[in-house]
Amino acid sequence: MSTGCDRFLAGRGALAELIRRQPPFEPPAAMFERVMNALGGETPALDFEPPASLEAAVLAEAARLDAAQRPRREALLEQIAHGTAPGTALEAGLDETTRRWLKQQASHRAPTPAAPPRRPWRRWLNGLGVAAMAGIAASVALKVGFDPAAPGVSAPVALEERAPAAPMVAPRVAEQSTANRAAGQAPTRAPEPSRERAPTKRQERKAMPVMPPGAPLADTMDDRLGQARPAPPALMAKSATGGDVTAAPSAAAEPARADAERSAERPMDLPLPTPVDALVARLSAHAPAHWRWIVAPQDAAHARVLQREVGARLAHTGRPDRFSLVTAPDRPDGSLRIVAEPLSPVGPRSPASPPPPPSPADGSRSRSPGSGPD
């Protein structure tokens, strides 16, 4: 307790002096009778019925508090069991009854179960398992490396050597048919592929027929490979009619060019505070064009400054882009719409030269024979 409270209980101090100066209280004569009647009467029955879940809630909260305090309680009892004084462990002054009760709780506490000792033979079993796995891995590696029957790198080569030489049958049949037609004989039956070991790739290259100097390239490649990639229809039609073969790619490139122009004509809606680098990157992705910027009237000054910076950056890269600024009252504030238009020829047009005056000879030819001078 504090010093002021002790002085008040001892009857000293200003508050105790004020209380002593108060007049003494004298109860009325009927007060004692009323108190005795109230004590002697029957106590009214309580109408409170606790809910069914109240007991479960109280027990659950008590269990939660006990679980939260259990580590600290176990640590405190462990210290007391090892000889530490209860007052020192709690860092507070305790009376003899409390110290005795704490020592009793520490002595009756169940001892902490010690971990069972690890048996040494388990370590030997672990070592034997590792050695067995290493031996199995070594045996598999040796079998794969030295056993010729094991699947390895040589398997694809053996499959290629055992495969029948199917591409060589068609050229040989075609050569024999051509020779028979030239000699006036009936075509003979194609020789059946032998069941001997198929020739290797080097032998096939040596056995390939040599292309005659005057033979057409397309026919020779068809006979040698058995199939040829057909030419595009446009190229075949041009070459058959004797026209220009190089005109087909330009005709095929027209849809791509039209798609690029349509993509460039699509308007780009961007926020006006877009960085200059982002605008330059967006415009550089398209072909050079006349870029028309549409903004709100109150954003015209900002858009004009931004347009100059973008135009300078694009001109520095060598692009002939042109820019124009249009204000539209229906545009929202802070928005920018960029429309791409094709570039028009830049520079003044050369004036048309007047027709030359007619020469005297032309004038004489234009007159009729019967006409005279004016």
| Domains of the chain: residue spans and CATH | 256-341 (3.30.1330)
State residue 53's pLDDT score.
92
Contacts of 250 (CB under 8 A, 6+ apart): none
State residue 123's pLDDT score.
65
> pTM to 2 decimals?
0.27
Question: Phi/psi class of residue 332: alpha, beta or left (left: φ > 0; alpha: ψ in -120 to 50)?
Answer: beta
For residues 284 and 321, give the distance between their C-alpha atoms in angstroms, rounded to a whole number. 10
Contacts of 292 (CB under 8 A, 6+ apart): 323, 324, 325, 326, 338, 339, 340, 341
Count Cα atoms within 13 angstroms, Cβ side, for 214.
0
State whether residue 341 is helix, strand or coil.
strand
State residue 142's pLDDT score.
87
Q: What is the pLDDT along the chain (374 residues), one digit of tens a residue?
A: 578 888 888 888 899 999 999 998 888 989 988 888 888 766 666 778 888 899 999 999 999 999 999 998 888 888 888 888 888 888 888 888 988 888 888 887 766 656 666 666 666 667 788 888 899 999 898 888 787 555 554 444 444 444 444 445 445 555 665 655 655 544 455 555 455 555 565 555 555 555 555 444 444 444 444 444 444 444 444 444 444 444 444 444 455 455 545 545 678 888 988 898 998 998 889 889 999 999 999 999 999 999 999 999 999 999 999 999 999 999 898 899 999 888 876 544 444 445 556 555 444 444 444 444 44
State residue 171's pLDDT score.
52
State residue 262's pLDDT score.
54
